[in-house]
Amino acid sequence: MADAISPDTTLADLGEFGLIAQIGEIVATTAPGDDVLLGPGDDAAVLRVRKGHVVVSTDMLVEGRHFRRDWVDAVDVGHRAAAQNLSDINAMGGRAQWLTVGLATPADLPAQWALDFARGFAEECAAVGAGLVGGDVTRADQVVISVTAIGACTVSPVLRSGAAPGDVLALCGRQGWSAGGLAVLGRGFRSPRVLVDAYRRPAPPYDAGPIAAEAGATAMIDVSDGLLAEAAHLADDSGVSIDVETGTFVIPEPLLAVGQATGADPLQFILGGGEDHPLLATFPPGATLPEGWTRIGSVSARGELPVTVDGAAYDGPTGWTHF
């Protein structure tokens, strides 16, 4: 167990190697054993790859852009940083096994924040049996986190480019909850708590990706930036058009409450919201959808628009844009 430190201890006080040693103790019990030949501490980790396809994904979180420390505590930032990468592997139909993390922070950041971040990160990794096997720390003017996840697919990876006319569009996992929580926090409130908690800590359906791959999913993506934005990626990469049917959505009561309080259409949280990390996939016509998947639209030959909503152009927000 990592040694207790004073709340007044900063990262400058603890030092680079002191921080690495403390994080090493936190993650030591979560890293898988047999396939990790060499974990944190050397110039690189050494891993054993057995069979299947190796899949790799990298994502970043930047303070002030992706999170605020007054809105999200360090443990939840750790969960979020791990989840968005674990979800990318999930969206390929695979399972993450190892992760590395680069952490840049101000020197006066409380050391406990970094250790709490590591604890949340390790807890999220443990949810899929993955482990932290290395990384780097450095100084910066704000907190910047870069995570790389490495995993494997036991069947062929499910790409974004396999959707075909006649396929059905389906969703697995909650969608729009994080966007509702962000809307609440942006107005200075903390309720409905269930939405704020969803923003702070996503709950991706980690088992759904491999199951969908086994069930014959033709294309798949995780919804990190917005449902319609991700549907457009599938449509563009597959050379098809996708129609999303709003009548298939049951809007949960908390989103209805936020819509009434803010004057926003709660359906916009579902269509344009991100960071819940559900999976969006297409399946062949007539396929039996796996448990937990809901049909929300259809795929047709490429038309004038890549994505429509209820058969027409949509002029609302479709998702997050980074630039």
80 is in an annotated binding site: no
Residue 80, Ramachandran bin (φ over 0: left; ψ between -120 and 50: alpha; else beta): alpha
Question: Vertex 255, ends 254 and 260: CA angle to 5°?
Answer: 100
Residue 62, Ramachandran bin (φ over 0: left; ψ between -120 and 50: alpha; else beta): beta
8 is in an annotated binding site: no
318 is in an annotated binding site: no
The span from the CA of 129 to the CA of 250, in Å, is: 32
66 is in an annotated binding site: yes
Question: Is 320:263 a contact under the CB 8 Å cutoff?
Answer: no
43 is in an annotated binding site: yes
Coil/strand/helix, residue 192: coil
Handedness of CA 93, 239, 232, 168 (dihedral sign): negative
57 is in an annotated binding site: yes
315 is in an annotated binding site: no
34 is in an annotated binding site: no
76 is in an annotated binding site: no
135 is in an annotated binding site: yes
124 is in an annotated binding site: no
275 is in an annotated binding site: yes
Instruction: Report how far Cα 45 is from the mean position of its chain's Cα atoms.
Output: 24
88 is in an annotated binding site: yes
For residue 134, what are the contacts with CB-CB under 8 A and spacing of at least 6?
39, 40, 44, 45, 100
Binding positions for substrate? 66, 275, 320
Binding positions for Mg(2+)? 43, 57-59, 88, 136, 222, 225
Binding positions for ATP? 135-136, 160, 224
Binding positions? 43, 57-59, 66, 88, 135-136, 160, 222, 224-225, 275, 320
